[in-house]
Amino acid sequence: MGAAMNPRTPFRGGDLPDVLAGTLMISLGALGLWAGRDLTYGNPAMMGPGFLPASLCTIMALIGGFVLVKGLSKPAESMGALNLRPLVTLVVAIAGFAFSAERFGFVVASAWLLIIGSLADPESRWKEIFISTAVLTSLGALLFVYGLGVQMPVWPF
């Protein structure tokens, strides 16, 4: 609390992780309040379905505001190295799996997931990717679809 008025960092800086956390909590709280705007709030004796969601979202947004304000006045702290390539690649890989699992079956979904997913690591080599995709897809089909009985077609046709 002593660092609230730090003259060395007038506008730039601030504790970036805290700023991010505060912003995130405020926006999620607001999102929750908006999504639950039609729910009955009720009163303490007869709580409506919206009582707890609205109360908790408000508390979360307030906490977010507190963290944000304090974060802005704290001495500068960076977020650490930011490298979005792995995350974006993984999102594309998983989205493809989610889309194709029911439509095109296990083999297509798993091959997409593994080939694209492997690109998330810059150290990956094509030869390794193809071998591991082939091995994991066939083992996966045997284990999950035939062995454990996961309800997913194996082939697209």
Partner 1 sequence: MSFLDVLMLGFSEALTPTNLLFCFIGALLGTLIGVLPGIGPTATVAILLPVTFFLPPLGALIMLSGIFYGAQYGGSTTAILVNLPGEASAVVTAIDGYQMARKGRAGAALAIAALGSFFAGTVATIALAVAGPTLSSFALSFGPAEYVALCIFGLLAATILAHGSVIKAIGMVCLGLVLGLVGIDVNSGSARLTFESTDLYDGIEFVVIAVGLFGIAEIATNLESTEVRGILQSKIGRLWPTRDEFRQSWGAVLRGTAVGTVLGVLPGGGATLSAFSAYSVEKKVSRTPEKFGHGAIAGVAGPEAANNAGAQSSFIPLLTLGIPSNSIMAMMLGAMTIHGITPGPSVIQNQPGLFWGLVASMWLGNAMLLIINLPLIGLWVKLLQIPYRLMYPAILLFCCVGVFSVSNRGFDVALVIIFGVLGYVLRKAKCEPGPLLLGFVLGPLLETNLRRAMLLSQGDWLVFFERPISAILLAVTALMLLMLVLPAIRKNRKAAFEASED
> Which stretches of the chain bind partner 1, using CB under 8 A?
17-18, 20-21, 24-25, 28, 32, 35-36, 39-40, 43-50, 52-53, 56-57, 59-60, 63-64, 66-67, 79-83, 86-87, 90-91, 93-95, 97-102, 106, 109-110, 113-114, 117-118, 120-121, 123-124, 128, 132-133, 136, 140, 144, 148-152
Cβ proximity of 114 and 124 under 8 Å: no
Closest CB 45 distance from partner 1, rounded Å: 3
Residue with tokens 């999950």: 144
- Is the dihedral angle over the CA atoms 65, 66, 72, 78 positive or is it negative? negative
Nearest C-alpha neighbor of 87 from the set 135, 120, 134: 120
Please state the closest distance from residue 26 (CB atom) to partner 1, in A: 10
Residue closer to partner 1, measured from CB, 5 or 82: 82
Q: How far is the CB of 109 from partner 1 (least distance, A)?
A: 8
CA nearest neighbour of 73 among 155, 135, 7 = 7
DSSP code per residue over 19-45:
HHHHHHHHHHHHHHHHHTTTS--EETT
Contact 153, 105 (CB under 8 A): yes
Q: Which is nearer to partner 1, 9 or 120 (CB)?
A: 120
Closest CB to partner 1 among residues 63, 72: 63
Beta carbon of residue 105, minimum distance to partner 1 (angstroms, whole number): 12
- Tell me phi and psi for residue 133, to 5 degrees: -65, -45
Toward partner 1, which CB reaches closer, 10 or 58? 58
Smallest distance from the beta carbon of 82 to partner 1, in angstroms? 7
